[in-house]
């Protein structure tokens, strides 16, 4: 079975590519950086950008995994917000147009696309499942909503679509743990806001396991891709301090300070998302990590 992966050079993409090759898949990938075309061992790189795509990338491909999107962890200026939006919505259009251009010869039957729990509104109590009605109000809700809508256009090509609404990814190789590790190691770890906001996290191993299962079992629909036991931010930070054997004593950093420093991007750390993983469990996925302390300990303990 041959796959095409977009965003394969990123945090999730690199690990997923390695896992899929290990599992015996052939992998093509698309990159916007010519310097990265030969950067993933065992996979074949192809170039694309905002207005072109090498249509050879679709050759003999059965399933597309769509991860492309510029990082949200950079200051949200007006220009950069446009980049966050277009790197997801326009890249999806380019991918679809590329597929349409090889209509007679493509064999793509499935698309597994990244999405994000940021599609749900921030709520300190409510536990969201996939049935929740989405009425985007914030910037991030709008980006993810439009991204999912664009992904749905692949139905016109007879492609089955699975959208994985990914939570906070915990990885050895960077992401949120990479950012929080240094202050925590220095004994300066602290929650943001009042620390009660829900953090629906997932260990990288489970994220990769869910992608693999979605591909193999040809999942269709929307799937929250988070561990079974979300925690509040204070618990997340104290689990991190515990794993690093550092004291956790600082009070949370007040919201107004974070808003001054980070602007609208502060939503990333101040918003609350309690999200249910029942559907992926009902679809037969068995989590390796459902306890935050065990997950963080495995990654950095
Ligand atoms: N990590 C998380 O906690 C998390 C949580 C929820 C959802 N997600 C979503 O999952 C996806 C992958 O996440 P990640 O953490 O692996 O992201 P990442 O490390 O930032 O990597 C994303 C990749 O997307 C590609 N990309 C960037 N701008 C692009 C553009 N304008 N057009 C096409 N491709 C572009 C880049 O590949 P090239 O430079 O090779 O083109 C980059 O390596 C993202 O869409 C993200 O929103 C991640």
User: What confidence tier does 115 reach under pLDDT thresholds 50, 70, 90?
Assistant: very high
And the tokens for 140?
């991030």
Confidence grade of residue 97 (pLDDT, cut at 50, 70, 90): very high
- Ligand 1 centroid vs 69 CA: distance in angstroms? 4
Q: Which helix (H) or strand (E) holds 119?
A: none
For range 252-261, the mean pLDDT: 84
Name the residue among 61, 64, 40, 37 with its Cα closest to residue 48: 37
- Round to whole Å and give the CA distance between 83 and 75: 11
Separation of alpha carbons 99 and 249, rounded Å: 54
Average pLDDT over residues 227-233: 96
Q: Is the dihedral of CA 176, 181, 186, 187 positive or negative?
A: positive
Hey, which of 33, 68, 84, 113 would you mutate to test ligand 1's pocket, going by the most ligand atoms within 8 Å of its Cβ?
68
**63 vs 5, 6, 197, 215, 245, CA distance in Å?**
9, 11, 36, 7, 43
Q: What's the pLDDT at 220?
A: 98
pTM of the model: 0.96
Q: For residue 179, name the pLDDT band (cuts at 50, 70, 90).
A: confident
CA–centroid distance, residue 250 to ligand 1 (Å): 33
Cα(169) to ligand 1 centroid in Å equals 12
What's the gap in Å between 71 CA and the centre of ligand 1?
A: 6
Find the range with the poorest average confidence among 85-94, 240-249, 280-289. Answer: 240-249
For residue 103, pLDDT beyond 80: no
67-71, 187-191, 229-233: the lowest-pLDDT one:
187-191
The pLDDT value given to residue 281: 98
Q: What is the pLDDT of residue 248?
A: 81
Looking at domain 2-169+201-227+277-285, its CATH superfamily turns out to be NAD(P)-binding Rossmann-like Domain (3.40.50.720)
Taking residues 77-99, report their average pLDDT: 97
Residue ID of nearest Cα to ligand 1 atom 28: 70
Please give the mean pLDDT across all residues of the chain.
Answer: 94
User: Which pLDDT does position 239 carry in this prediction?
Assistant: 93
Residues in the chain: 301
The residue whose CA has the least distance to atom 32 of ligand 1 is 87
* Distance between Cα 68 and ligand 1 center (Å): 5
User: What are phi and psi for residue 283, nearest 5 degrees?
Assistant: -85, 5
**Percent of the chain predicted with pLDDT > 90:** 80
What tens digit of pLDDT does each residue of 271-298 get? 999 999 999 999 999 999 999 999 999 9
CB 226 within 8 A of CB 202: yes
The kind and range of the H/E element at 183 are: helix 175-185
Buried b / exposed e across 38-70, counting CB within 10 Å, b at 16+? eebeebbbbbbeeeebebebbeebbbbbbbbbb
Q: How far apart are CA 58 and CA 95, in angstroms?
A: 10
Give the residue whose CA is nearest to atom 11 of ligand 1: 67
Q: Which residue in the block uniquely carries the two structure tokens 């037969």?
A: 284
Return the residue whose CA atom lies nearest to atom 48 of ligand 1. 166
Q: Could you identify the atom of ligand 1 that is nearest to the CA of residue 72?
A: 47
pLDDT given at position 247: 83
Domain ranges of the chain: 2-169+201-227+277-285
Q: List, chain by chain if needed, residues with CB within 6 Å of any ligand 1 atom.
A: 7, 9-13, 31-33, 36, 67-71, 87, 91, 114, 116, 166, 168-169, 175
Which residue among 8, 12, 143 is best mutated to probe the pocket of ligand 1, counting the most ligand atoms within 8 A of its Cβ? 12
> Which residue among 5, 10, 96, 275 is best mutated to probe the pocket of ligand 1, counting the most ligand atoms within 8 A of its Cβ?
10
Distance (Å, whole) CA 190 – CA 193: 10
Distances (CA, A) of 291 to 192, 280, 298: 21, 17, 11
pLDDT in tens, 37-57: 999 999 999 999 999 999 999
């Amino acid at each position: 079975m041959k796959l095409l992966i977009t965003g394969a050079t990123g945090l999730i993409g690199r690990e997923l590519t390695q896992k899929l090759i290990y599992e015996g898949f052939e992998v093509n990938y698309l990159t916007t950086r010519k310097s990265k075309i030969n950067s993933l061992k065992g996979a074949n790189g192809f170039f694309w950008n905002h207005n072109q795509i090498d249509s050879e990338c679709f050759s003999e491909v059965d399933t597309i995994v769509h991860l492309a999107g510029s990082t949200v962890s950079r200051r949200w200026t007006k220009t950069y917000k446009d980049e966050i939006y277009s790197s997801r919505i326009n890249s999806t259009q380019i991918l679809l147009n590329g597929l349409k251009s090889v209509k007679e010869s493509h064999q793509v039957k499935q698309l597994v696309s990244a999405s994000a729990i940021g599609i749900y509104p921030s709520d300190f109590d409510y536990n969201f499942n996939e049935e929740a009605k989405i009425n985007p109000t914030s910037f991030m809700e709008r980006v993810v909503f439009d991204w999912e809508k664009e992904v749905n256009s692949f139905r016109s090509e007879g492609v089955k679509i699975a959208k994985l609404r990914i939570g906070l990814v915990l990885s050895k190789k960077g992401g949120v743990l990479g950012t929080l590790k240094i202050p925590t190691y220095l004994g300066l770890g602290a929650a943001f806001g009042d620390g009660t906001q829900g953090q629906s996290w997932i260990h990288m191993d489970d994220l990769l396991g869910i992608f693999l299962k979605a591909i193999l079992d040809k999942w269709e629909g929307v799937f929250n891709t988070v561990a079974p036991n979300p925690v509040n931010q204070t618990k997340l930070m104290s689990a991190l301090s515990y794993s690093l054997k550092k004291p956790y004593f600082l009070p949370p950093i007040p919201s107004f300070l974070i808003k001054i420093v980070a602007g609208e991007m502060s939503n990333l750390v101040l918003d609350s998302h309690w999200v249910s993983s029942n559907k992926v469990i009902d679809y037969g996925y068995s989590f390796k990590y459902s306890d935050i302390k065990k997950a963080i300990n495995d990654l950095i303990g």
